[in-house]
Structure 1
């Protein structure tokens, strides 16, 4: 019985070796893209766009007319080097579907993806560069491979639709709709800020402020909601102006934030930064001491306060030295008489 079982196992192993060899032979006859097809899903139903999810994402799929922050690379078959890529960029730009993304297959593929997802797509010519291709880089009727990673996306289509309305039309929508648009614009601005695109960030924040300013508030609760939405925008604008080396404007927005929340630590810190840049050291100390009283162990506040105090002392010493030099050449009239 034991002998029979061994023979059975040996016979099965021999069969598997033969099958694996056949599979390897078959794979050698397939092109690289044909091998990829075997592990991909048809997302259109016509074989024109095949997809393989390498790393799943999270959240909802990319929305139509969204602005997408992504890395992507396009490959021709048998080519190890991409014919186009963004992977060398530290900060890829936001691309708006329907405007910046011009490849039909890529746009349709993006609509199946989620934030954080990394996927591969095979596009048939009708979803890529067509029968003509794009000489001299893309040959005629080329099938292309795209590797795509979604870093983030924003539903900018909702913003476009809302901002296209007149202020009167915007006021017909519930406040919740406006606040959704404001949050998208603020997120857009934050993405620009993280990429050091400060003018772009400022434009998004100011656009949000304009929409809030156009709102006809009817109740005290709506007015409070508007102020709550304005506060982070003022804080972000203040920091952005500091990055743009505009301390006067940074101070203006910091004070606007303090009008809404007089004890806001970030606003006090921003004003302290602005005053320090303007060499108004006494005012800087006042703001930073107020911030320190609320967050006594905050290292950023303490470090900036120390810097402001040193600068203030140095300025007083310089002022004292200047007056000393001014009067150094003057003598007492009585000592020079007779």
Structure 2
């Protein structure tokens, strides 16, 4: 029942007394605002004349004119019930391909559902832009809808009449579906996954799952892969990632009986690893991308997608040198790939921008000019480092000016004297080779530990 309005508001002080009573305002359900869920133009696309009997109006005899629209429609339809009780009738509008669905398939369908004399659908997956997905044989939908879908093939478009005993019965489903309502469904079969035994798999104990055969594990993995694909296409990347992860775990933990099963398992895992990497890339989980790509390359050493995704993730992580390595490997395998070419162009631009940023940082770090060399630095007379056991002449550091050496010396000495600092990161680019060598040598002179960050592929 819709809500009703009080004639007068509630006084909380009166409620605290001996008692209160309420009077209701005269109520007319028609006065209630109607919530619009869909655009009128969209709803109009799915109007059905079958619910009005308009298509048969010109051919009606005197007897037929007394029939309801659904009764007229039923004359052209085929009974698909086991008992032939005309509880579910079918009229194929477009043929499908392949075999009829298995009784326990996991299906994806679009449908519109209508009531008699109502040309607008009371329910529509097309209007929601979201097909419905469920497993046959599990009681997830009304019996008539499940029976209808079980009679279809992929790509088929059919309409079905479902009587109350196969629908919502004598009570209906208020407020949209009245009691004893016959329903009209217009259904398109999009796709299905054969997943016999999948539901039973999840009722098994952990030990039973480990002993399950590869054929069953394969069905479970395919179902989760299908779930992941649909989540990914819908932009639900977190759910897609979890579904891919579940499919991977099922395959990785299964017991294989022979080499044929191992080949098929590895092929499926390779596909899942690549898709998982793509999904993690959308979530900006770059380390996970590298992990999945590494697993894919363990199966197929020259997988161009794994090289490409790994290179892209490394670029986004700022590991430009490693990124170039893997992108170049991908380009050698697929030299005409526009995606790889574009990624290399992005990498070149990122390197250029990063170097400009580092040079600016260097200028800020060494912004003060020293008029005279600090104690222990190189002098014009000696051209040697004072106090160094490994004295070097200026000619050994061609391209490194005295001012630069003295500025570096000052900054390193300041770092050494600061007991609160344990590390002084230096940029990996922005210096010439001679300047980098100068920094390392001065650090060693001051007794500082120089550590270069290694590259681990």
TM bucket normalised to smaller: 0.7 to 0.9
Alpha-carbon distance in structure 2 between the residues aligned to 1:22 and 1:172: 64
Do the aligned partners of residues 225 and 136 (structure 1) sit closer, same or farther apart at CA in structure 2, a change above 3 Å counting? closer
Alpha-carbon distance in structure 1 between the residues aligned to 2:180 and 2:329: 68
Task: Look up the match of 1:40.
Answer: 77
Task: Look up the match of 1:16.
Answer: none
Bigger drift between 230-239 and 176-185 goes to: 176-185
Task: Look up the match of 2:66.
Answer: 29
Q: 1:233 aligns with which of 263, 269, 272?
A: 272
Do the aligned partners of residues 320 and 154 (structure 1) sit closer, same or farther apart at CA in structure 2, a change above 3 Å counting? same
Listed one character per residue, the Cα deviations across residues 21-61 of structure 1 (whole Å, up to 9, x for unaligned) are 87465554332112211211011110111111111111222
Three-state SS of the structure 2 residue aligned to 1:179 is helix
- Cα shift at 1:133: 2.0
Q: Check if 1:271 corresponds to 2:327.
A: no
Listed one character per residue, the Cα deviations across residues 103-131 of structure 1 (whole Å, up to 9, x for unaligned) are 11111111101111111111111111111
Listed one character per residue, the Cα deviations across residues 265-294 of structure 1 (whole Å, up to 9, x for unaligned) are 010111112112222222221111110011
Alpha-carbon distance in structure 1 between the residues aligned to 2:102 and 2:312: 39
Determine which structure has the larger helix proportion and give its number.
Answer: 1
Structure 1 residue runs without a partner (length 5+): 1-19
Matches within 5 A, 1:73-88: 73-88=112-127
Q: 1:317 aligns with which of 338, 345, 356?
A: 356
Three-state SS of the structure 2 residue aligned to 1:131 is coil
Alpha-carbon distance in structure 2 between the residues aligned to 1:275 and 1:326: 27
Alpha-carbon distance in structure 2 between the residues aligned to 1:240 and 1:178: 23
- Cα shift at 1:206: 1.8
Higher relative contact order (CA 8 A, sep 6+): 1
Do the aligned partners of residues 138 and 21 (structure 1) sit closer, same or farther apart at CA in structure 2, a change above 3 Å counting? closer
Matches within 5 A, 1:292-311: 292-311=331-350
8 Å Cα contact 2:195-2:219 kept in structure 1: no
Three-state SS of the structure 2 residue aligned to 1:136 is coil
Three-state SS of the structure 1 residue aligned to 2:107 is strand
- Cα shift at 1:215: 2.4
8 Å Cα contact 1:282-1:312 kept in structure 2: no
- Cα shift at 1:222: 4.8
8 Å Cα contact 2:220-2:250 kept in structure 1: no
Superposition CA RMSD, Å: 2.7
Alpha-carbon distance in structure 2 between the residues aligned to 1:297 and 1:92: 37
Q: 1:94 aligns with which of 129, 133, 139?
A: 133
Alpha-carbon distance in structure 2 between the residues aligned to 1:86 and 1:76: 16
Three-state SS of the structure 2 residue aligned to 1:156 is coil
Matches within 5 A, 1:280-295: 280-295=319-334
Alpha-carbon distance in structure 2 between the residues aligned to 1:67 and 1:222: 23
- Cα shift at 1:155: 2.5
- Cα shift at 1:250: 1.4
Do the aligned partners of residues 315 and 158 (structure 1) sit closer, same or farther apart at CA in structure 2, a change above 3 Å counting? same
Matches within 5 A, 1:98-117: 98=137, 101-117=140-156
Alpha-carbon distance in structure 2 between the residues aligned to 1:237 and 1:178: 19
If the length of structure 1 is used for normalisation, what is the TM-score?
0.84
Matches within 5 A, 1:161-180: 161-166=200-205, 168-170=207-209, 174-180=213-219
Q: Check if 1:144 corresponds to 2:183.
A: yes
Instruction: Report the structure number with the largest CA radius of gyration.
Output: 2
Task: Look up the match of 1:128.
Answer: 167
Q: Check if 1:248 corresponds to 2:266.
A: no
Alpha-carbon distance in structure 2 between the residues aligned to 1:255 and 1:264: 10
If the length of structure 2 is used for normalisation, what is the TM-score?
0.63
- Cα shift at 1:196: 2.1
Three-state SS of the structure 2 residue aligned to 1:129 is coil
Listed one character per residue, the Cα deviations across residues 75-134 of structure 1 (whole Å, up to 9, x for unaligned) are 111101111111112333422335573311111111101111111111111111111222
* Count of equivalent residues: 317
Do the aligned partners of residues 24 and 277 (structure 1) sit closer, same or farther apart at CA in structure 2, a change above 3 Å counting? farther
Alpha-carbon distance in structure 2 between the residues aligned to 1:87 and 1:310: 44
Alpha-carbon distance in structure 1 between the residues aligned to 2:259 and 2:90: 52
8 Å Cα contact 1:125-1:141 kept in structure 2: yes
- Cα shift at 1:202: 2.2
Three-state SS of the structure 2 residue aligned to 1:183 is helix
Task: Look up the match of 2:451.
Answer: none
